[in-house]
């Protein structure tokens, strides 16, 4: 019998598992996909919002501001890149300038520090590449950027090292309440648990209904993005927003913590919670919107595109708390933007709510909030690299030339707790394959390492999901079984 089962291995679920591992509880996390961070947590803007746009008094406002304040320490403990680069909200005319004043008032009501309104010239003095048409900008010094999938993977790793059972490829198919506990029927057998935390993203309403709670409705909102080469990364230092609409925060232009430039997303509501295809019309709209803010953007610098899904609740706010109709069911639903920014605070709140409900929960005496830092050869000195190679020659064997990722780093990403099991798992943990060639040269070598380290056949290694096989025949030309 588990004490707590978390359904959903995104950033909310994994950070919550980590937060709960501070206590002596039997905790399990179920992720239906082949890896954690396989849905919204891998496909978003990677922005740590300041919190000025959320309506005062909402869960979005409360948890965004608290999560922003927590992010630096959480990332430092988890060895994840985070940068407080600041953000700018642009106005292109007098009407939009009035929106800046509204956002400033909201931000102050929400307790956001470091807000100021700049003239167009003042904004261009800080960001020379923004449009000459900008008449004013709201600057938020507390805005930041982070790697969302690195944060999720590292949180899962830390939770596992602190005793949480992380189970991937396990899908909840139905849920029953029996004798004061839940029985979760999955494709891998039953899981009995006293409490469920529903952190299922766009499927949070489906999980709620399985458990008997029909109060939640989630719709998917598609957002398409374009990632640009690192040579475009210096165009802006701040995250550049346009004034928001009822559909979201509009097209942004932002540097990433790894030196690329990211533009997007558009916003299209969808009835299909699996539709992550990109469209020519959508990507054209993203490009046009980004060029409106930064006219010197060159579409030829794009190296890849992707689509993410946002989980939008009926009241357009986060749903955080215990179900009113099902005992021991705790929701973290409707976690659209600023869900990533709010994630540390939501994990903290869910943990507090659960521990208060359980009562008298003992601390885990072996809890360690930190993960052991993994060597990144781009971030160490030549002398340190020399010593590392002397200890382990695999760190001198460069597999991904675009991102300078060594064999040693890839092996480490596979061997550690909740390690990589597929091509994209290695990619998101090490950046092997994230450069300009997008894995065109390094993927066969990553495949070799995965086969060697996991003992899985070549024909069983997938890109990111069961069925997305890299090879359909073995290396000797025989047919795959």
Q: In terms of domains, do 126 and 244 share one?
A: yes
In this structure, what DSSP letter does residue 446 have?
Answer: H
Show the domain range for 237: 82-144+219-309
d(CA 262, CA 226): 6
Length of the chain: 481
Distances (CA, A) of 374 to 10, 172, 264, 403: 22, 33, 31, 16
Q: What pLDDT is attached to residue 466?
A: 79
Q: Residue 398 belongs to a domain with what CATH number? A: 1.10.10
Q: Residue 136 belongs to a domain with what CATH number? A: 3.30.9.10
- Tens of pLDDT, residue by residue over 418-447, are 999 999 999 999 999 999 999 999 999 999
Buried b (16+ CB within 10 A) or exposed e, 12-32: bbbbbbbbbbbbebebbbbbb
Residue 480, in any domain of the structure: no
Split at pLDDT 50, 70, 90, the class of 480 is very low
Q: In terms of domains, do 42 and 155 share one?
A: yes
Residue 77, in any domain of the structure: yes
Residue 304, in any domain of the structure: yes
Assess whether 129 carries a catalytic annotation: no
Q: In terms of domains, do 163 and 36 share one?
A: yes
d(CA 341, CA 96): 25
Residue 474, in any domain of the structure: no
User: Which of 267, 285, 309 is the last residue before a domain boundary?
Assistant: 309
Tokens read off for 310: 């946002």
Number of domains in the chain: 3
- Tens of pLDDT, residue by residue over 157-205, are 999 999 999 999 999 999 999 999 999 999 999 999 999 999 999 999 9
d(CA 35, CA 305): 21
d(CA 356, CA 301): 51
Q: What pLDDT is attached to residue 82?
A: 98
Residue 472, in any domain of the structure: no
Q: Which of 136-150, 227-241, 293-307, 466-480 has the lowest mean pLDDT?
A: 466-480
Q: What pLDDT is attached to residue 467?
A: 86
- Tens of pLDDT, residue by residue over 364-397, are 999 999 998 889 999 999 999 999 999 999 999 9
- Residue ranges of alpha helices (H) inside 131-192 are 148-161
Task: Please pick, among 34, 49, 238, 331, the residue that the annotation labels catalytic.
Answer: 49
Those residues whose C-beta lies under 8 Å from the C-beta of residue 123, and which sit 6 or more positions away, are 88, 90, 130, 134, 136, 137, 139
Residue 465, in any domain of the structure: no
Q: In terms of domains, do 53 and 198 share one?
A: yes
- Tens of pLDDT, residue by residue over 404-425, are 999 999 999 999 989 999 999 9
pTM, rounded to two decimals: 0.96
DSSP states along 165-180: EEEES--EEEEEEETT
Q: In terms of domains, do 200 and 258 share one?
A: no
């Amino acid at each position: 019998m588990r004490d707590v089962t978390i359904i959903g291995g995104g950033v909310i679920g994994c950070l919550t598992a980590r937060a709960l591992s501070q206590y002596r509880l039997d905790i399990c996390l179920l992720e239906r996909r082949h890896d954690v961070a396989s849905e919204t947590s891998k496909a978003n803007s990677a922005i740590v919002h300041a919190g000025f746009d959320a309506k005062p008094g909402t869960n979005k406002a409360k948890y965004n501001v608290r999560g922003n304040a927590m992010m630096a320490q959480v990332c430092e403990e988890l060895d994840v890149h985070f940068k407080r680069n600041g953000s700018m909200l642009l106005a292109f005319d007098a009407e939009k300038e009035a929106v800046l004043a509204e956002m400033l008032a909201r931000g102050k009501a929400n307790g956001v520090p470091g807000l100021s309104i700049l003239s167009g010239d003042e904004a261009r003095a800080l960001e020379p590449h923004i449009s000459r048409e900008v008449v004013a900008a709201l600057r938020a010094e507390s805005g930041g950027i982070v790697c969302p999938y690195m944060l999720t993977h590292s949180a899962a790793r830390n939770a596992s090292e602190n005793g949480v059972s992380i189970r991937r490829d396990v899908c909840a198919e139905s849920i029953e309440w029996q004798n004061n506990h839940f029985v979760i029927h999955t494709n891998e057998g039953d899981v009995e648990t006293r409490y469920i935390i529903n952190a299922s993203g766009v499927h949070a309403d489906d999980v709620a209904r399985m458990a008997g709670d029909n109060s939640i409705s989630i719709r998917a909102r598609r957002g398409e993005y374009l990632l640009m080469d690192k040579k475009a990364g210096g165009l802006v230092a701040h995250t550049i927003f346009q004034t928001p609409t009822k559909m979201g925060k509009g097209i942004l232009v932002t540097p990433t913590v790894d030196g690329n430039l990211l533009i997007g997303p558009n916003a299209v509501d969808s009835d299909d919670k699996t539709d992550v295809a990109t469209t020519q019309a959508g990507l054209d709209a993203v490009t046009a919107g980004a060029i409106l803010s930064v006219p010197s953007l060159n579409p030829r610098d794009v190296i890849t595109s992707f689509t993410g899904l946002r989980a939008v609740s009926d009241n357009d706010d986060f749903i955080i708390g215990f179900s009113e109709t099902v005992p021991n069911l705790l929701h973290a639903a409707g976690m659209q933007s600023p869900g990533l920014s709010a994630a540390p605070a939501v994990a903290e709140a869910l943990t507090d709510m659960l521990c208060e409900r359980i009562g008298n929960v003992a601390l885990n005496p072996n809890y360690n909030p930190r993960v052991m830092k993994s060597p990144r050869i781009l971030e160490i000195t030549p002398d340190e690299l020399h010593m590392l190679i002397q200890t382990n020659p695999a760190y001198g064997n460069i597999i991904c030339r675009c991102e300078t990722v060594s064999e040693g780093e890839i092996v480490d990403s596979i061997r550690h707790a909740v390690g990589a099991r597929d091509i994209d798992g290695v990619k998101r943990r090490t950046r092997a394959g994230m450069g300009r060639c997008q894995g065109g040269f390094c993927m066969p070598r990553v495949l070799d390492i995965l086969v060697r380290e996991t003992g899985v056949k070549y024909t069983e290694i997938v890109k990111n999901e069961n069925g997305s096989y890299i090879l359909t025949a073995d290396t000797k030309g025989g047919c795959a079984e």
